[in-house]
A and B are shown apart, each in its own frame.
Chain A
Amino acid sequence: MKLTIFNGSPRGKGSNTKILMDHFCKGFDAAAAEVNTAENNLKVNVAYLVHTDKMEEFMELFEESDKIILAFPLYTDCIPGIVKFFIEQLEPLCGRENNPDMGFVVQSGFPEAVHSRAVEKYLEKLTGRLGCKYLGTVIKGGVEGIQVQPPRMTQKLFGSFYRLGFHFGKTGAFDETIVRELVKWERLPGWALVLFRLLALTGIANMYWNTQLKKNDAFDRRSSKPYQGLF
């Protein structure tokens, strides 16, 4: 099985999407080490869609893969512009014989999965349009902070992506139990809404942004309205 992961983050190699998919790949490679034989060769490739000048190369990769995972951060509750650009390049491949199976990973800063459900419908329809078998969509919220969080906070998340990759290597599919666990919250439960409002009052809820604003000497300008009343 040849798997290609298309990383659709505009941050490319500096992305949270890469961090998550690196753990997925480690799991995938561990599965490969167990099952690889002459006739059963598991291989994973990663391509970064931020390189919008490499579309021909990406199309070739798409055509020669058995499985595709398109992983990206949620942008305006949808795919980022670079991912739409990539998808438009695939138009000539619609209905081609032997198109690869296709699955998706959508990560976002929002804690709830509800933000990602509209684009999930789009992605499923896309696979039908291309004539690819749909492998499902992994939705993971609350990701934005992972680069500043201590390891004890990210350990479980990274472990889940490792196991997701391991299972994918063994079976060529996402493990549905892990996919369900990763969702955690479809919508915030009542107690979390109350807690969030309290944290917002104390300023703790916005600590992540305030730290960065202060570091950049921009805290006092955080609410500036550069376009207010320009007409």
Chain B
Amino acid sequence: MRITLLNGTPADARYKNFELFVEKLAIYLDKDRHTVTNLKLRNMDIKYCTGCFGCWVKNPGECLIADDSRTVRREAINCDLLVFASPIIMGFTSAILKKTMDKMIPLVHPYIEIVEKECHHRKRYDKYPSVGLILDKPTDNRADDEDIAITRRIFERLSLNLRSTLRLVAFDQTPIEEVINEINHI
């Protein structure tokens, strides 16, 4: 399976263990039977979405800003499993990851259609990857189960917008073999 890992960990000592977990997971998955592209977002030049909709009405399918989000989109649409990874900061994944999520809209079409009795954007591509989410379970009261439930719900919505399903939610406390096993069953 082709796996793209979007690692949204900020450069902060508090999140070092989380990042180690994500790095280790990437290496183990790659050693297993998968092809892993591990993108460390904080080292990439990704500009904020400006809401110009140029990716829908001027240069359909592509962001007008020539930044590294082009690599992210290329790797995201051509994989089987797209994994978002971030520690929980102020109740949600990092701003680094969020701005990258915003830059996914060129992957869908501006037209609206009815999906599950709701308005959603039409697919631009024939196939979209399954979605995975890796979070931390902080021991320092930084996040609780409610934060995790809210974050999970927002990623279920993001997956639906990408016309896909959230198939994996894992934590840095989970034994790595269990996470790999879960991924192997997707």
A: residues with CB less than 8 A from B are 9-11, 15, 52, 73, 75-82, 84-85, 87-88, 90-91, 110-112, 114-115, 118-119, 121-122, 125-126, 129, 187-188, 193, 196-197, 200, 205-206, 209, 212-213, 215-216, 218, 221-231
Contacts and interface: CB of A to CB of B under 8 A. Distances in A.
B151 to A, nearest CB: 8
Given A10-B49, A78-B98, A81-B99, A229 B78 contact: yes
A185 B125 CA distance: 30
A226 B74 CA distance: 9
A78 B51 contact: no
A121 B147 CA distance: 9
Nearest to A141: B119
A88 B95 contact: yes
Contacts of A196: 112, 114, 119
Nearest to A220: B60
B138 interface: no
Contacts of B62: 226
A115 B157 contact: yes
6 contacts: A75-B101, A112-B118, A115-B157, A193-B117, A218-B58, A218-B59
Contact of B51 (A10, A91, A121): A10
A118 B150 contact: yes
A80 B57 contact: no
Interface in B47-89: 48-53, 56-62, 73-74, 77-78, 89
Given A227-B125, A231-B78, 9 more contacts: A75-B49, A78-B101, A114-B118, A115-B119, A121-B153, A129-B91, A196-B112, A205-B112, A227-B77
B57 A84 contact: no
A15 B102 CA distance: 17
Nearest to B74: A227
B40 interface: no
B161 A76 contact: yes
A10 B50 contact: yes
A82 B48 contact: yes
B142 to A, nearest CB: 9
Given A206-B110, A213-B57, A227 B51 contact: no
A140 B31 CA distance: 48
Contacts of A88: 89-90, 94-95
